[in-house]
Amino acid sequence: MAMFPVQGFVDGDFVLVLALVDDTDPMTVVAEKIAHHSVGKRVAAQDRPMKVKLRGEMQADDATLTSIGAAPLDVLEVVYA
Amino acid sequence: MPHLPRSEWYDLTRDMNWDLTYVTEDEAFPPALSNSFGVPAEDWWAWDEPYKIAYAEYVHNQAGKDQGLFSVNNVISRSGIFDNLDPGWKAAILAHYGAIAVAEYQASIGESRMGRFGRAAAWRNMATYGTLDEMRHGQLQTYFPYQALHKEPRLDWAHKAYHTNEWGIIAARHVFDDMFTANDAVSTAIQLTFTFETGFTNLQFLGMAADAMKVGDLDFGALISSIQTDEARHAQQGEPTLKVLVKAGKKDVAQNLLDKMFWRAWKLFSLLTGLSMDYYTPIEHRTHSFKEFMEEFINKQFIDQFRDFGLEKPWYWDQLLNEMNWVHHAYHLGVYFWRPTVWWNPVAGVGPEERAWLEEKYPGWNDSFGKYWDVMGENVRAGHPELTLPETFPIVCNSCQVPVCTPAGYAAGYLDSPLPYQLDLGGRRYTFCSEPCKWVFEETPEQFAGHLSIIDRLLGGIIQPPSIEGALAYMGLSPEECGVDGTDYAWAHATAPAKV
């Protein structure tokens, strides 16, 4: 386990934020950690599951940053499925 | 002393140019400080300023300006005018003083570099006046806020700001170091005096002086008007420098210098002036939207000047026009949400009347930007203002050092992608808010690659502890100095947002 800084944003928000996640976090947790800084603060919450996109590709919920080959400061986009 | 008309002696006393024999040209004018861009020494001697003034006249004029200005200040500083200013206007002038006062003094360094390393005696003469001008501006814009410290202690940021690592100041210092503090004389003339002063500040100061008078801030209005008269004169160093470059076949050099600094100036201008014009200035005193101001005074008038010299619009012109629709709205959201990180109290400026005005000036604003304020307003009304405050940091651009707001441009329908531009170089990852910002960096990567953004400093362990509190302390902001909502959330408790 290691701390992993990423640039993240929730679809519809206005800015990229720094999010500190863990390289073994599943994408569901990564999405929550990024959304914590956005959803309910600037972006209205939706009753739908969140997904993570890296370089335009939707990632599996159980994938980790290590398993998808993400690099520090990669840009992760959180979208509602 | 003979009383000759100035025209009979001016050129003779001004043009003290001579051929160098004891030293080489590079020894007298080192390229790092002067940079002729290959234009022969004698060609520079054709440099001729459009506005001529002798030293005695300069001193006489400046003394008169100061006499008038300090008379106003002497009266106003003892009145209650500052206390009664609108909170938005107070935000605008606190931001202005912090961002500009010491930068003016630094501009005197750039002017004095031209005063020594300018390529013609006429230019060095003009730049000497410019040096004195900028010293005056630095002194005035630290003295006037100093007079009002007992009314607003954070006016000391007029002096303090540039001695801190506050994020906005890192951004301002990054561009101003590039533009004048650490620039060669020829590039300074093109990038500071022609691009920035003629294109942006000269016109901005005219607009700000008029706005100040309308809101009743006579002190600030008189100050800015007085400064503008100096700017209008010394900004004219750019034109003859440009003429020499173009005549020598170096139009591409001038175009490149202009293109780089016009974009850099735009990014800073949209952050500082965009917020002031569209959110901080009380709505009843607004004459133009920021976009209208840009279209009329910057884009149209300044572009006419480009063309007069045979230059073209910068290659990124369409991207500039695109950003004018949305980027400062995003910056305002960022400054408001991260308000503890600035030294003034940002006002939201999104009450019902303001939202109607924004919708009129920027059709679609309610749908594209109002939606963020809707969520924040609901949180305030539900008793959770803490949800309008940050727990992390925005990513900032490695070129302009301002938060990367590409998702806003995408969400508002102005960009094809919400993703930023990135570059991996020398083992580091660099992030950029726009294609022109990446281009500026890649033009001279050796100049910019070593700089650490506020986020790089956080991730590199320079900011300790790596938390909001640690970052605020690193930025020189004590709890008493951190920005808070300028109207104590009055905007959120006003009636429901207007739908247009």
Burial of B107 (0-12, 13-18, 19+ CB in 10 A): buried
Q: Is B335 left (phi over 0), alpha (psi -120 to 50) or beta?
A: alpha
Give me Rg for the CA atoms of chain B: 23
- Going by C-alpha positions, the residue among B409, B29, B78, B49 that lies closest to residue B185 is B29
pLDDT at A59: 97
Residues in chain B closer than 8 A to A18 (CB atoms): 392-395, 455, 458-459
**Across the interface, do B408 and A15 touch by the CB < 8 Å criterion?**
yes
* HSE-up (13 A, CA, CB side) for residue B345: 17
Residue B437 touches chain A, beta carbons under 8 Å:
no
Candidates B393, B419, B454, B467: best to mutate against A (most CBs of A within 10 A) is: B419
| Whether pLDDT at B377 is above 70 | yes
Angle, CA of B306, B448 and B34, to the nearest 5°: 55
pLDDT tens digit sequence for B169-215: 999 999 999 999 999 999 999 999 999 998 888 767 777 888 888 88
Q: Which chain A residues have a beta carbon less than 8 Å from that of B419? A: 75, 77
Domain boundary assignment for chain B: 53-392+483-493
Cβ–Cβ under 8 Å, residues B263 and B436: yes
State the ipTM, two decimals. Answer: 0.97
User: What is the domain-level CATH number for residue A36?
Assistant: 3.10.20.270
Contact B408, B333 (CB under 8 A): yes
Q: Which domain range does residue A31 map to? A: 3-80
Among B342, B379, B368, residue whose Cα is nearest residue B482: B342
Residue B465 is given by DSSP the state S
Residue to mutate among B373, B395, B455, with most A CBs inside 10 A, is: B395
Contact at 8 Å (CB) between A79 and A51?
yes
Output the 3-class SS for A11-22.
CCCCCCEEEEEE
CATH 3.40.630.10 for domain B53-392+483-493, yes or no, is no
Query: In angstroms, what CA-CA distances link A26 with A44, A62, A72, B6, B410?
Result: 24, 5, 16, 79, 27
User: Which chain B residue's Cα is nearest to A44?
Assistant: B375
Tell me the mean pLDDT in the region B298-323: 88
B401 close to B167: Cβ distance less than 8 angstroms: yes
Residue B29: pLDDT over 60: yes
Q: Mean pLDDT of all residues in chain A?
A: 96
Q: Could you tell me which residues of chain A have a Cβ less than 8 Å from any Cβ in chain B?
A: 5, 7, 9, 11-20, 36-37, 40-44, 71-73, 75, 77
Query: What per-residue confidence (pLDDT) applies to B1?
Result: 53
Enter the pTM of the model.
0.95
- B379/A73 CB distance under 8 A: no
- Nearest CB to A12 within list B337, B406, B411: B411
CB pairs under 8 A between A and B: 90
User: Looking at residues B130-149, what average pLDDT do you find?
Assistant: 95
pLDDT category at B9 given cuts 50, 70, 90 is confident
